[in-house]
Amino acid sequence: MKVVTRPNVFFDVDDTLVMWNQAPDSPEMVKLPLLDGHVEPLVIHQSHIKQLKDHKARGHYVVVWSAGGWEWALAVVKALGLENYVDEVMDKPHWYYDDCKVTEWMPDCNRVYFETYKSRNKGHGTKEIDMPTQGATVFAVADEDITKDTPCVVQNNRVYPV
């Protein structure tokens, strides 16, 4: 039996590590062979890849899972060159037994997703940035010049640097 004593973090594959249905001319495009042999163009979600690597650097036990199965999760990990950052690959859980709902022991604030959206930038047009969100998609307007490295909060559909 394996006993994991380190803090653990789980990353989904589809629309988390790689994005489906994105612009075919994206510089982050990678062509991944699907399990049936078909090759699909997918976009690498760089912010989530960075978070995965950062968690590993902090000593966390990193698991990549997918509702598409462990084979698909493993194929994506290998295609992205993440073998040295991922401790375990598995199917997404189908059931769990616990006296508590997952929201009781893992608050929603522990669910992190970096949403890419367009932000107006001091009259200089729009630019895409990644913003950490909990839950719903965020479409927000920024009044100040912000980058993806600027710590921000979103309130009433506006982005404010912290």
Q: Which tens digit of pLDDT belongs to each residue from 28-55? A: 777 777 777 788 888 888 888 998 999 9
pLDDT at 100: 85
Same domain for 83 and 119, yes or no, is no
pLDDT at 136: 36
| Segments in the chain below pLDDT 50 | 117-129, 132-144, 156-157
Same domain for 37 and 80, yes or no, is yes
pLDDT at 98: 87
Q: How many domains does the chain have?
A: 2
Q: What is the largest CA-CA distance in the chain?
A: 58
pLDDT at 47: 83
Q: How many CB atoms lie within 10 A of CB 100?
A: 8
Same domain for 20 and 86, yes or no, is yes
**What phi and psi values does residue 54 have, to the nearest 5 degrees?**
-65, -40
| Rounded Cα–Cα distance for residues 114 and 137 (Å) | 9
Same domain for 60 and 126, yes or no, is no
| Rounded Cα–Cα distance for residues 130 and 151 (Å) | 11
Evaluate whether 72 touches 13 at the Cβ level (below 8 Å): yes
Same domain for 16 and 89, yes or no, is yes
| Rounded Cα–Cα distance for residues 25 and 53 (Å) | 26
Residue 112 exposed, middle or buried by CB count within 10 Å (0-12, 13-18, 19+):
middle
Would the pTM count as exceeding 0.75?
A: no
Range of the domain at 77: 8-95
Residue 103 lies in a domain: no
Same domain for 38 and 85, yes or no, is yes
Same domain for 13 and 80, yes or no, is yes
| Rounded Cα–Cα distance for residues 30 and 43 (Å) | 6
Same domain for 82 and 142, yes or no, is no
pLDDT at 101: 82
- CA 94 and chain centroid, separation: 20
CATH of the domain at 47: 3.40.50.1000
pLDDT at 73: 95
Integer CA distances (angstroms), 140 to 20, 147, 148, in order: 23, 14, 14
Residues with Cβ within 8 Å of 107's Cβ and at least 6 positions away in sequence, in order, are: none
Q: Partners of 121 in the beta sheet? A: 142
